[in-house]
Amino acid sequence: MAGFDPSVRTATLTAEQETTARFPLRDGRGRPWWESYFGPDYSLLYPEKDHASGEKEAPRIAAALALAPGARVLDLGCGNGRHVLALARRGFDVTGVDFSPFLLEQARAAREAEGLSCQFLLADARNLPLETLPPFDAVVSIFTSFGLFSDVENEAVARNMAACLKPGGRLLLDLGNRALLEAVSGQRVWSRRPGGYLLDEFVYDADFHRFHGNRILITDGVERRYPFDHRAYSEPEIRALLRKVGLRVLAVHGSLDRTPFNPRSPRMVVLAEKP
């Protein structure tokens, strides 16, 4: 997809066409931003998203989905496998899918170190090998793993998630709360990192309802820039999208602990079911 040039925008473009023309955001080497973002520096960008956090969150995920013993679970956007491994320790039949070879290598190494039984698959959520995947009792997408693409592509991901579910199967989506993302637009935040600092620059695009910015990592005198961008859904929008792909929304919570959702909630956690 070509980069967006404001000079060629015309009144004949639909909102869907404009979104496709504008995205994806590119990194410093001209690649889609996610190709560099989910790489060797991911643990410095998100030091709190480690295996200990997966172990802490796994019981909440299982409880929210009401998973039966031995249930088959798909973690779409599994990253370093922190939730896959934690759910596998609890006896669930878990498959993790991600498009980052680097993070999947970490996940597989952790699996082998523990001798756990779980699967990891390198694949793009927009084009899943549905014919090779078994029907799942549950699909999970944690920490804003959904919404990275254009609206058209995000809908394709949602359809793939629905297609992976068996009748009665459930989907758990953990998304950012758009009201909070809007509130931090324009802010610059410094954080300490081993050997240096991380500078976050946040922007909310109200025209396209997207949250993006730069994460500038400065460690040992070396600067690396990681732009990011994702669709920020409102509750009515995500309900409508899931309904469009054939899912029924059961509840919208404000956290994995299933607290009530409101404009101040730390997250927007959506539970849906395939009829």
Model confidence pLDDT, tens digit, residues 110-123: 999 999 999 999 99
List the strands of the sheet with 188-193, edge to edge.
188-193, 196-205, 210-219, 222-231
Percent of all residues in the chain with a pLDDT value above 90, rounded to a whole number: 89
The DSSP letter of residue 256 is: T
Q: What is the pLDDT of residue 194?
A: 96
Q: What is the pLDDT of residue 149?
A: 96
Position 8 pLDDT exceeds 60: no
Q: Pairing relation of β-strands 165-176 and 188-193?
A: unpaired
Q: Which two tokens stand for residue 236?
A: 């009515």
Position 6 pLDDT exceeds 60: no
Q: What is the pLDDT of residues 169-183, one digit of tens each?
A: 999 999 999 999 999
Indicate the pTM of the whole model: 0.91
Give the start-end residues of each E strand in 146-266.
165-176, 188-193, 196-205, 210-219, 222-231, 248-253
Q: What is the pLDDT of residue 218?
A: 97
Q: Which domains does the chain have, with CATH numbers?
A: 51-177+234-273 (3.40.50.150)
Position 205 pLDDT exceeds 70: yes
The mean of the pLDDT values for the chain is 92
Position 11 pLDDT exceeds 90: no
CA-closest candidate to residue 26, choices 226, 218, 199: 226
Q: What is the pLDDT of residue 9?
A: 32
Question: What's the mean pLDDT in 17-44?
Answer: 83
Q: What is the pLDDT of residues 216-259, one digit of tens each?
A: 999 999 999 999 999 999 999 999 999 999 999 999 999 999 99
CA-closest candidate to residue 137, choices 163, 91, 170, 162: 170
Position 213 pLDDT exceeds 80: yes
Q: What is the pLDDT of residue 24?
A: 84
Position 200 pLDDT exceeds 80: yes
Q: What is the pLDDT of residues 139-154, one digit of tens each?
A: 999 999 999 999 999 9
Position 5 pLDDT exceeds 80: no
Q: How many residues in total does the chain contain?
A: 275
Residue 22 pLDDT class (50, 70, 90 cuts): low
Position 79 pLDDT exceeds 70: yes
